[in-house]
């Protein structure tokens, strides 16, 4: 990792493109989240506006967060560090820019089609066939660009971040095609119970084979560099990487424990969900021991601060996820806002925080000047952190109320007024997250295109 000089002249256009993509779509994605949260509080506010009925807003929010904000943010960092880790140039900036364009067209298409009611109706696999093709093509192009960069490398040893990026992009291209039943363009679905099994195999792999590997790659790059320390253990890197791919891919059926699917498959899903502590702790111990005694350096770098916070959230969301796969726990937590809280710790607290960290760590290096405003970035950090922890608290409370009330025989309708106040707080916190995204976009645009970096 000492070859910066060879690549300084790189234009980094692809990394900048993905950075802007991420910052822009974070605003749109969180706006849709805020809109949906508001509709749950005041359903008649948007009465009879078909394009933004709650059932169309929610999948738009989820897809934009996953594929508009978090994934491009992580890829932006990857497009910066992969050539540097390999002591070479990116194979093709033109291909990279083309990928960014395809990516953004797919996202615009996603918003338009979902608003118009074109959907495959399957969670995380809503996007219709033409957009599916674009997404698979985009992931394939990203992989191709990276693997060709690997081929041209001057550095013989592949660092752990490279493993994760290669595996994450190629495996996601495969599971996205599989999960969206891409060979059936009309429905994008299988028939009956098997559709649910395939859907949740894919759905969980959006986190297991896309967000987690890319986030791990960014953390493995940013933390040792920010700490100016070597990585704690190569063995733990190996264990974490292979265990992640083996274990994470088995657990999708833990979404279906209360559904008539084969029992042996449920057992596999539960056992492997608990076994998730192996890849999770291998990664976390490796990162945390690398940073041991050097938290001051992490605190000093806003990017590393985001990333390190993300690793802490990864600990919480993973332990919680393992517990939620236990049938006795799931009797209370299934079908209610507990799961929504869990999703927000995972995607915003872990992968989202690390994506933002990757952006703030690399953007000064991409632009060759300091961030436009360290203060704004810090402010965004606290808004996201408070908002996300707040989501977790209120939605977990709401979920416990719902789950226990239902077990106790109260009807869904009776429980609605009991969770109303938590929905109000959630919408308020959503406004905070959306505002932070607007600040972040402003900061990132000024940092990339401003004439000089002003420090504050």
- Residues of this chain, 92-151, that bind another protein according to CB under 8 A: 117-123, 147, 150-151
Site for another protein in 176-195 (CB under 8 A): 178, 187-195
Rounded least distance, CB 453 to another protein, Å: 37
Q: Which stretch binds another protein (CB under 8 A): 56-64, 68-76, 291-299, 448-456?
A: 56-64
Binding flag, residue 63, another protein (CB under 8 A): no
User: Binding another protein by CB under 8 A: which of 74, 141, 167, 284?
Assistant: 167
Select from 175, 169, 170, 106 the least CA-distant residue to 135: 106
Could you tell me the CA-to-CA distances from 86 to 149, 152, 231, 297, 428 in Å, in that order?
Answer: 8, 8, 17, 25, 45
Is 38 a binding residue for another protein by CB under 8 A? The answer is no
For residue 6, the minimal CB distance to another protein (Å) is 20
Question: Given candidates 16, 56, 254, 374, which one binds another protein under the rule CB under 8 A?
Answer: 56
Within positions 398 to 427, which residues make up the interface with another protein, using CB under 8 A? 402, 406-407, 409-414, 416-417
**CB distance 175 to 250 below 8 Å:** no
Question: Which two tokens mark 165?
Answer: 């990026």
Q: Restricting to residues 222-261, which ones interact with another protein according to CB under 8 A? A: 238, 242, 245-246, 249-250, 252-253, 255-256, 258-261
Residue with tokens 């632009």: 367
Shortest reach from residue 241's CB to another protein, in Å:
8
Q: How far apart are CA 27 and CA 288, in angstroms?
A: 31
Q: Binding of another protein at residue 174 (CB under 8 A)?
A: yes
Nearer of residues 348 and 419 to another protein, judged by Cβ = 419
CA 169 to chain centre: 13
User: What's the token pair of residue 386?
Assistant: 């408070």
Q: Supply the minimum distance, in Å, between the C-beta of residue 451 and another protein.
A: 41
Q: Which is nearer to another protein, 121 or 230 (CB)?
A: 121
| Closest distance of CB 125 from another protein, Å | 8
Which DSSP string corresponds to 144-189?
Answer: HHHHHHHHT-S-SSPPHHHHHHHHHHHHHHHHHHHHTTTT-TTT--
Size of interface with another protein, in residues (CB under 8 A) = 88
Residue 436 burial by Cβ neighbours in a 10 Å radius (0-12, 13-18, 19+): buried
Sign of CA dihedral 330, 280, 303, 26: negative
Of 41-49, 96-104, 130-138, 384-392: span binding another protein (CB under 8 A)? 41-49
Stretch that binds another protein, among 63-71, 100-108, 167-175, 306-314 (CB under 8 A): 167-175
**DSSP label at residue 183:** T
Q: Which is nearer to another protein, 56 or 305 (CB)?
A: 56
- Under the binding rule (CB under 8 A), the answer on residue 452 touching another protein is no
84/250 with CB nearer another protein: 250
Q: Which of residues 310-349 bind another protein (CB under 8 A)?
A: 331, 334-337, 339-340
Length of the chain: 456
Among 265, 275, 277, 438, binds another protein (CB under 8 A): 265
Q: Is 59 one of the binding residues for another protein (CB under 8 A)?
A: yes
Cβ proximity to another protein, 102 vs 174, nearer residue: 174
Which residues contact residue 52 at a Cβ distance below 8 angstroms, ignoring those fewer than 6 apart? 35, 39, 46, 115
Rounded distance between C-alpha atoms, residue 182 and residue 120, angstroms:
11
Show the tokens assigned to 340.
Answer: 């929504």
Q: What six digits make up the tokens of 55?
A: 């059932």
- Stated as kind and residue range, the H or E segment containing 224 is helix 212-227
Q: What is the dihedral of CA 376, 25, 248, 123, to 10 degrees?
A: 140
Q: Shortest Cβ distance from residue 228 to another protein (Å)?
A: 24
CB of 364 to another protein, least distance (A): 30
Burial of 207 (0-12, 13-18, 19+ CB in 10 A): buried
The residue within the footprint of another protein, chosen from 15, 26, 70, 198 (CB under 8 A), is: 198
Task: CB nearer to another protein: give 11 or 262.
Answer: 262
* Closest CB 245 distance from another protein, rounded Å: 5
For 166, residues 6+ apart whose C-beta sits below 8 A from its C-beta are: 143, 146, 147, 150
């Amino acid at each position: 990792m000492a070859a910066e000089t060879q690549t300084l002249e790189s234009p980094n256009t692809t990394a900048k493109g993905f950075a802007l993509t991420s910052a822009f779509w974070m605003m749109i994605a969180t706006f849709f989240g805020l809109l949906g949260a508001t509709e749950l509080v005041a359903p008649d506010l948007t009465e009879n506006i078909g394009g933004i009925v709650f059932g169309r807003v929610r999948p738009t929010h989820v897809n934009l967060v996953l594929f508009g904000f978090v994934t491009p943010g992580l890829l932006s960092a990857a497009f910066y560090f992969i050539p540097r880790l390999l002591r070479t140039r990116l194979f093709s900036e033109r291909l990279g820019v083309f990928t960014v364009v395809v990516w953004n067209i797919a996202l615009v298409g996603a918003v338009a089609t979902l608003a118009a009611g074109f959907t495959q109706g399957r969670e995380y696999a809503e996007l219709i066939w033409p957009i599916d093709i674009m997404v698979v093509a985009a992931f394939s192009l990203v992989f191709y660009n990276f693997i060709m960069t690997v081929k041209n490398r001057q550095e013989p040893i592949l660092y752990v971040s490279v493993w994760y990026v290669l595996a994450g992009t190629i495996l996601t291209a495969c599971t996205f095609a599989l999960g969206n039943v891409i060979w059936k363009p009309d429905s994008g679905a299988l028939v009956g119970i098997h559709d649910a099994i395939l859907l949740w195999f894919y759905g969980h792999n959006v986190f297991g084979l896309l967000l987690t590997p890319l986030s791990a790659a960014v953390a493995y790059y940013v933390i040792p560099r920010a700490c100016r320390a070597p990585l704690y253990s190569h063995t733990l890197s190996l264990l974490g990487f292979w265990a992640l791919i083996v274990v994470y891919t088995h657990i999708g059926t833990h979404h279906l424990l209360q559904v008539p699917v084969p029992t042996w498959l449920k057992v596999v899903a539960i056992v492997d969900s608990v076994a998730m502590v192996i890849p999770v702790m291998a990664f976390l111990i490796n990162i945390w021991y690398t940073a041991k005694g050097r938290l001051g350096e992490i605190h000093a770098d806003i990017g590393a601060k985001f990333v390190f916070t993300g690793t802490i959230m990864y600990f919480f969301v993973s332990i919680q996820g393992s517990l939620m796969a236990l049938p006795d726990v799931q009797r209370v937590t299934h079908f209610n806002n507990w799961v929504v809280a869990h999703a927000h710790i995972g995607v915003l607290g872990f992968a989202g925080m690390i994506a933002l960290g990757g952006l703030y760590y690399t953007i000064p290096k991409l632009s060759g000047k300091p961030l436009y405003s360290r203060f704004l970035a810090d402010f965004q950090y606290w808004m996201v952190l408070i908002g996300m922890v707040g989501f977790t608290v209120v939605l977990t409370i709401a979920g416990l109320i719902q789950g226990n009330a239902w077990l106790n025989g109260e009807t869904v309708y009776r429980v609605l007024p009991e969770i109303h106040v938590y929905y109000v707080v959630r919408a308020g916190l959503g406004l905070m997250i959306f505002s932070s995204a607007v600040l972040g976009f402003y900061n990132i645009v000024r940092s990339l295109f401003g004439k000089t970096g002003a420090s504050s």
